[in-house]
Amino acid sequence: MDRELYRKLNEQINKELYSAYLYLSMASYFDSILLEGFAHWMKVQAKEEFGHAMRIYEFLNDRGERVIFESIDKPPSDFSSPVDVFEKTFEHEKKVTESIENLYKLAKEKNDYATEVMLQWFITEQIEEEKQAQEILEKLKKIEGRDYLLIMMDKELSKRGE
């Protein structure tokens, strides 16, 4: 495997693990303000992000490459509101999409067809990730200041399957 692509895939694992860490931090915020449905949604999201990291880990392992882990940055822990959390979630997912797309471009440049195929899954996944975050954000903006609607939304988010 091309060394630059290998290094970038290792970096992506770190980014996916950071995403899991970030979403757990957001879950903790929601737990602290008694929005357990929102917290549940974030915990499921964190598990998904860990799964994404493992998908790349297994891909590298299958190709005979050793995964090298780096430090994971501390995620933010202070948020001003559910809207603030989902604004940050949506922005974060857009950054992840950009990172995946850059990896895909690099795989194409290096003629690494196996990596291109693996990254196709991530490209499709990121469409869903951004869509979910944006939809929740837009709903939160519409109901802002109406706590009874926030409680209803909290109940709805508690139904997210794992």
pLDDT of the chain along its 162 residues, tens only?
A: 999 999 999 999 999 999 999 999 999 999 999 999 999 999 999 999 999 999 999 999 999 999 999 999 999 999 999 999 999 999 999 999 999 999 999 999 999 999 999 999 999 999 999 999 999 999 999 998 899 999 999 999 999 886
Contact 110, 2 (CB under 8 A): yes
d(CA 22, CA 115): 26
| Amino acid (one-letter) located at 6 | Y
Phi, psi dihedral angles at 33 (to 5 degrees): -110, 20
Residue 55: per-residue pLDDT: 98
Architecture of the domain whose range is 3-157: Up-down Bundle (1.20)
Contact 32, 126 (CB under 8 A): no
Q: Is the pTM of this model over 0.85?
A: yes
Residue 85: per-residue pLDDT: 98
d(CA 32, CA 47): 20
Domain ranges within the chain, ordered by starting residue: 3-157
Looking up tokens 């508690």, which residue turns up? 158
Dihedral (C-alpha) 84, 89, 92, 94: value to the nearest 10 degrees?
Answer: -110
Contact 38, 137 (CB under 8 A): no
